[in-house]
Amino acid sequence: MSSYVCFRSVKMLGCLAFLFFLGGAILMSGQIFAQTVTVSDDFNDNIKNKVLWGPDGGYGKGVLTERNHRLEFTVSTPGGGGDYTYRDLIASQGTYTADWEVQIDAFNGTKTSGSKASSVGMDIFRCDDLNYYMYAEWYAFGGAKSFFAELGSPDGLVDVDTGDLSGNLPLAGSMRISFDSITKIITLYYDTGTGWVPFVSFGISDAGNGADGNTDWFMTDADQFCFDVYGWSNAMTIGSGKIYADNFQATGVTAPVATRVLQPDGLEPVQAGDLYPVSWEAPLVATKFKLQYSLDNGTTWKALDPGVDFVTGRNYNWQVPLTTNNKGKCLVKIAGYNEDGVKIGGDVSERFTIEVLKLDAPNGGPPDLTSGTQFLITWTTNPNVTSVDRVQLSYTLDNGATWKVINTTADPSDDGSFLWTVPIVTREKKNCKVKIVLKSASGKTLGSDVSDGVFKILPALP
């Protein structure tokens, strides 16, 4: 037992590194709900649920993947120092003001010797501060296997160990972690086939009534617990199926919500040159964000603010670029990171338009225009577009294959309208559009737009 405790302190260092530096961990939750739900996953479809779980990946070479109708932890090459760890954050969260419970089946069939060790388990921690955590696991070290739990905070650690549960035999069963919102006590249970066995209770408030350990997590009614499932190995290979988890269930938790961009939402154009409020939802554990935009549907990306690497909060006033024409394939991308630089999640907005100039009429559809009559072309110029010297107008009868100039000599100013004499046609033209271009005195294009849809020009009435 003494060697186990000694090694445990080494593993704790590895676990802290695992808490803070895991790449690819995703927590897909954006907001707090008052309503609690039951969230479960039996892993039977062999397709990882992207709303509940992040993508495969992890810290080092450990990988937790859904296959063989379960969640398997594998390590391709033996290592050392606890550098093969995986952490996969579950979407749902437990609230500090409601009872919740998480449960999962687990299997640890590794054969260990000497300093080699492995474990599979669950973590509970403050979403906004990873320094406050508790984990429970099936643990294998030096040939012995046991159920282990640890409570951690900046104030100190509390370790609890059952000792040898099953000798050298594979350790299989279930673990359950419950939270009592009145007493603020976390209680652990395990089941190796004979029913649930109460294992340990930890207090996480000033009351300190946990039977086996207490530490103040300083949580308030607005705080939440985050859950994850992980695998860990030290100096050994974990083959496929030697460690796995199955049948996850969390009750009394908040509903999972995918991380997402709220604005821009693609419904309204964004005005070029404006200060636009970009907003998003994000997990509580995400403390800083990288913001980028694209004008070409994601082919290339630029920082919203070239002088800022990361922003905090859940909104940012973006100085929209003053483009020379309307851009209809724009996107905003957000990536969230925790305080240690681990990427937590991200999202790309719906496609939207950055608008410099809007041709209001004719803009497609009815009314049909008639040859030889006059029609008032109207447009709206973005107020950020200055130094306009003149407008250029043109029209097409073949949906843009060819364009003909509209003579604007009598009224070249950017005053929002031009009285156009509709051209003469001898038969109905169904694919007509109008184009407007704003020009500076030097001939530079300051903005342009084209009718969104086609309209008809009819022959003159007899």
What tens-digit pLDDT sequence spans the chain (462 residues)? 222 222 222 233 233 222 222 222 222 233 333 478 898 999 999 988 766 776 555 556 778 888 899 999 888 776 666 556 666 667 678 889 999 999 999 999 988 888 888 999 998 998 878 889 999 999 998 888 899 999 999 988 888 888 888 788 889 999 999 999 999 999 999 999 999 999 999 999 988 889 999 999 999 998 889 888 888 888 888 888 899 999 999 999 887 656 789 999 998 899 999 999 999 987 766 789 999 999 999 999 999 999 999 999 889 999 999 988 889 999 999 998 877 677 777 899 999 999 999 999 999 999 999 999 999 999 999 999 989 999 999 999 999 999 999 999 999 999 999 999 999 999 999 999 999 999 999 999 999 999 999 999 999 987
Q: Are 22 and 85 in contact (CB under 8 A)?
A: yes
Beta bridge partners of 243: 73, 108
Q: Are 234 and 80 in contact (CB under 8 A)?
A: yes
CATH code of the domain made up of 2-254 = 2.60.120.200
Q: What angle do CA 116, 122, 126 make, to 5 degrees?
A: 120
pLDDT of amino acid 23:
23
Closest CA to 436 of 461, 410, 414: 414
Residue 107 tokens, joined: 């299997």
Instruction: Tell how far CA 427 is from the center of its chain.
Output: 55
Cα separation, 446 vs 255, whole angstroms:
48
Q: Are 240 and 224 in contact (CB under 8 A)?
A: no
Q: Are 238 and 110 in contact (CB under 8 A)?
A: yes
pLDDT of amino acid 60:
65
Cα separation, 334 vs 343, whole angstroms:
11
The residues, any chain, with a CB within 8 Å of residue 91's CB and separated by 6 or more, are 27, 28, 29, 39, 51, 52, 53, 256, 257, 258
Closest CA to 27 of 335, 349, 282: 282
By DSSP bridging, strand 270-271 and strand 352-355 are parallel
Distances (CA, A) of 22 to 88, 348, 421: 9, 23, 67
Q: Are 108 and 99 in contact (CB under 8 A)?
A: no
Q: pTM higher than 0.85 for the full model? A: no
Three-state DSSP state, 157: strand
pLDDT of amino acid 285:
66
User: Boundaries of CATH 2.60.40.10 in the chain?
Assistant: 261-355, 357-458
Cα separation, 26 vs 53, whole angstroms:
7
Residue 327 tokens, joined: 């851009």
pLDDT of amino acid 393:
98
Q: Report the topology of domain 357-458.
A: Immunoglobulin-like (2.60.40)
The residues, any chain, with a CB within 8 Å of residue 52's CB and separated by 6 or more, are 28, 39, 41, 90, 91, 92, 256
pLDDT of amino acid 82:
59
Three-state DSSP state, 250: strand
**CATH superfamily, domain at 261-355:** Immunoglobulins (2.60.40.10)
Closest CA to 304 of 284, 324, 279: 279
Three-state DSSP state, 4: helix
In total, the chain counts a number of residues equal to 462
Phi and psi of 145, rounded to 5°?
-130, 140
Q: What is the DSSP letter of 351?
A: P
pLDDT of amino acid 62:
78
pLDDT of amino acid 14:
32
**Burial bucket for residue 350 (CB in 10 Å: 0-12, 13-18, 19+):** middle
Cis? peptide before 367, omega within 30° of 0: yes
User: Boundaries of CATH 2.60.120.200 in the chain?
Assistant: 2-254
Three-state DSSP state, 405: strand
pLDDT of amino acid 277:
95
Tally of CB atoms within 10 A around 142: 14
Q: Are 330 and 353 in contact (CB under 8 A)?
A: yes
22 conformational bin, left if phi > 0, alpha if psi -120 to 50, beta if neither: beta
Q: Are 91 and 27 in contact (CB under 8 A)?
A: yes
